[in-house]
Structure 1
């Protein structure tokens, strides 16, 4: 999943000598939460919602609304921008972009090509949209989570159980973090095209090979969280 396939390409920029009133207008008109600030064709900073709010705060501007509006025409973008912003390469993965945003506690960043030209913006909403698409949440179905020994082929055994019951595994997510038992891995399957009548026996079969964590039925908006010792199947 490369950033260039998921970023927002409708980039609106502002010149460093433009007023913050123009920045406010661009944000309102185009819904741009991040505005690259340019000077002589080069990126020198960004203006975010937070920068605008900080510049418009009472301790910066007088409370009188008319005077405040007047001053927004006099304050330049370079005076309120965040200089030297973090950027993301358009050929980096979305996971790398997400890691950078989290590490630096920022909501988004400009995306640049191999020549350093801005080609887009990626923010947390874009990353969430990517995650939703890649987990198959655009279709109704089931999500089954289980913990299994972290050995070659252990997940494939569970997938074969699903396929034997005519289900289709749309996505597979797996992690060894936040796992209570050392040497185990948590696996999350998104399942489509399976007869609801097949779910209870499928869960019983999975219990023989793994520890069930939960199941979510997105058709009926029902979910069952299984305890450590025994699975409760009465809702299914």
Structure 2
């Protein structure tokens, strides 16, 4: 899950000496949430749609439309941009980008090469696309959540049972978050389990394992145990 495989390669930028009005026009005509700011070709800041809204005159102003536009033409991007810029390299992992965004409270960032040149942009939407593709949830399969013993073979036992029911394992995710010592949470995303075999598999898994949650997305069926 390298960033270079999921980032947007077409990057729309703005120069630091352009105006707030110029940025607003770009946000109106382009489906973007942020603009990297350049000065003499070098990345010096970032401005988001939220920054532009915050710096724009309030809706309660007595100024007319032309006066507002004229005022916004006098405000330079460099006065409202965020700097220094939080960036990441294209050879880093998607989960590294997600962790950095979460820690910094940002929704996206420029992707740069070793020389600091912009190669793309990675946003939370790109991370959502990556997550959905790996879970296979868009294929309307089945989901099984377990409280797994943290020991060798626990995952294989479950995948064998799923395959014996005619299912295909699309992806497996595990986490120690909020798990008691000696256990971990396991999330199995599967495809192609027939309806009659699904019910029998659920019953088998309930008896033999600590099944927490099950869903058949093709039917809209969900159950928490």
TM-score by length of 1: 0.91
Rounded Cα–Cα distance in structure 2 between residues aligned with 1:57 and 1:225: 50
Aligned pairs, how many?
Answer: 224
Rounded Cα–Cα distance in structure 2 between residues aligned with 1:62 and 1:220: 52
Q: Do 1:148 and 1:209's aligned partners in 2 also have CA atoms closer than 8 Å?
A: no
Q: Do 1:16 and 1:39's aligned partners in 2 also have CA atoms closer than 8 Å?
A: yes
Q: Do 1:158 and 1:209's aligned partners in 2 also have CA atoms closer than 8 Å?
A: no
> 1:45-79, CA deviations, whole angstroms, 9 ceiling, x for partnerless residues?
011012101211439x9541332211111111111
- Structure 1 spans left out of the alignment, 5+ residues: 227-236
Residue in 2 aligned with 1:128?
128
RMSD of aligned Cα (Å): 1.5
- Per the alignment, do residues 122 and 166 of structure 1 end up closer, same or farther by CA in structure 2, a change over 3 Å counting? same
Rounded Cα–Cα distance in structure 2 between residues aligned with 1:63 and 1:136: 52
SS of residue matched to 2:174: strand
Aligned-pair distance for 1:43?
0.4
- Structure 2 spans left out of the alignment, 5+ residues: none
Residue in 1 aligned with 2:55?
55
Residue in 2 aligned with 1:206?
205
Residue in 2 aligned with 1:42?
42
Rounded Cα–Cα distance in structure 2 between residues aligned with 1:54 and 1:224: 44
> 1:86-144, CA deviations, whole angstroms, 9 ceiling, x for partnerless residues?
00111110000001001011111111122211011111111111111111122121101
4+ runs deviating over 3 angstroms: none
Rounded Cα–Cα distance in structure 2 between residues aligned with 1:210 and 1:182: 17
Q: Do 2:2 and 2:92's aligned partners in 1 also have CA atoms closer than 8 Å?
A: yes
TM-score by length of 2: 0.95
Q: Do 2:14 and 2:35's aligned partners in 1 also have CA atoms closer than 8 Å?
A: yes
SS of residue matched to 2:166: coil
